[in-house]
């Protein structure tokens, strides 16, 4: 039936059977209740999953599950620290830290390494570009009476390289520089390189990967 211009969509419909009028749930109302029940079940399922997840995280993060002095692998903290303590040795730090990043400042025709590895002489072409071994900033620009004009570059890790025997210096003190950025040109056919970390000399043969090469 139509009431006030709208179709009667009651949740129940009346049917006359054998002179007796009975009311039955309409198809529309039945569908609504089915959809509502399904939605409620989904929400309950999501809530249950979330609750289980929170409980699991709390149990996993509980300090009571791991005995004092033991790591999650069942290993004592003392044993674990004992294995890691070797990285603090100065010899490991001095050699390993710059080895992965430093590059030779000049094209090498031949080279000579000092007795303790703390000095490197590179034979190159006079007038060829000399570049920064690392990224950092220019610590100093100056001139040494014996080795000639030089540029020192220092990194944030306190690793410092100084290249001697330069001409036409292209950087200034305090200037940031990128690795392989031009510092100047070789004044003659050789340049000298020194390196240190926190004031301690570096083994440049190891730093530049020249340890196994034959010096000429």
Among positive and negative, which fits the CA dihedral 4, 7, 9, 10?
positive
Q: Which residue has the higher pLDDT, 33 or 150?
A: 150
- One-character DSSP codes across 21-86: EEEEE-HHHHHHHHHHHHHHHHHHHHHHHHHHHHHHHHHHT-GGGS-TTB-TTS-BHHHHHHHHGG
Instruction: Note the pLDDT of residue 99.
Output: 45
Buried b (16+ CB within 10 A) or exposed e, 87-123: eeeeeebbbebbeeebebbbeeeebebeeebbbbbbb
**Nearest 5°: CA angle at 205, between 188 and 157?**
95
Pairing of strands 182-186, 129-131: antiparallel
Q: Say how far apart CA 29 and CA 89 lie, in whole Å.
A: 79
- The secondary structure of 180-215, three-state, reads CCEEEEECCCEEEEEEEECCEECCHHHHCCCCCCCC
pLDDT digits (tens, 9 = 90+) for 54-88: 676 666 555 444 445 544 555 554 455 444 444 44
For the chain, give every domain's residue range. Answer: 10-58, 92-207
pLDDT digits (tens, 9 = 90+) for 152-210: 999 999 999 999 999 999 999 999 999 999 999 999 999 999 999 998 999 998 888 88
Q: Say how far apart CA 33 and CA 28 lie, in whole Å.
A: 9
pLDDT of 91 strictly over 60: no
Pairing of strands 159-167, 148-154: antiparallel
Mean pLDDT of the chain: 74
Instruction: Note the pLDDT of residue 48.
Output: 76
Fold classified for 92-207: Glucose Permease (Domain IIA) (2.70.70)
pTM given for the model: 0.54
pLDDT digits (tens, 9 = 90+) for 106-116: 999 999 998 77
- One-character DSSP codes across 78-132: HHHHHHHGGGG-HHHHHHHHHHTT---SS--SEEEE-TTS--EEEE--TT-EEE-
Instruction: Note the pLDDT of residue 145.
Output: 95
Instruction: Note the pLDDT of residue 144.
Output: 96
Tokens of 109: 């025709």
């Amino acid at each position: 039936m139509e009431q006030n211009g709208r179709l009667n969509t009651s949740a129940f419909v009346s049917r006359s059977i054998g002179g007796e009028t009975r009311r039955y749930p309409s198809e529309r109302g039945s569908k609504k209740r089915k959809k509502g029940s399904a939605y409620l079940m989904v929400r309950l399922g999501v809530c249950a999953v979330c609750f289980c997840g929170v409980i699991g995280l709390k149990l996993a993060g509980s300090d009571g599950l791991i005995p004092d002095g033991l790591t999650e692998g069942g290993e004592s903290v003392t044993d674990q620290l004992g294995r890691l303590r070797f990285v603090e040795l100065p010899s490991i730090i001095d050699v390993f830290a710059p080895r992965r990043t430093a590059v030779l400042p000049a094209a090498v025709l031949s080279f000579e390494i000092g007795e303790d590895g703390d000095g490197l002489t590179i034979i190159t072409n006079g007038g060829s570009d000399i570049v920064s071994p690392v990224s950092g900033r220019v610590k100093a620009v100056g001139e040494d009476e014996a080795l000639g004009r030089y540029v020192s570059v220092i990194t944030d890790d306190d690793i410092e390289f100084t290249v001697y025997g330069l001409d036409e210096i292209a950087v200034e003190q305090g200037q940031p520089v990128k690795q392989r950025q031009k510092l100047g040109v070789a004044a003659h056919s050789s340049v000298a390189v020194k390196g240190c970390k926190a004031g301690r000399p570096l083994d440049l043969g190891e730093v530049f990967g020249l340890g196994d090469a034959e010096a000429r």
